[in-house]
Structure 1
Amino acid sequence: MTQDITTEAEFAASLTELLRAADEGGVNPRGGWTCRTGDEHPDLEAVITELAPAPM
């Protein structure tokens, strides 16, 4: 699952796709995730929090 991401919109779409796939596959994505990216890139932490449903 590697693709070039060059805009914030592409990043958001890819993240949404990844979170949906995790949920559909029975993986709970909630919580903190450490992302070790190697020597050439910074190490990052992602925090996934479930939101309340949007009002209709």
Structure 2
Amino acid sequence: MWCVGTLTQEYRQRMYDLLDLYAHPLRPGEPVVCLDEKSKQLLKDSRAPLPMRP
């Protein structure tokens, strides 16, 4: 669960800066980095894996 803090002018400015960043077009020369808010570790497969083929 998350909550929004007090909507100060600084909060709004940072939110709009982030939304502007998300609206930028994809540039092939720049890497795309995605981060999850929660750290999760895959300990096993969720489905049976397919056998390998040559």
**TM-score, scaled relative to structure 2:** 0.35
- The higher radius of gyration belongs to 2
**TM-score, scaled relative to structure 1:** 0.34
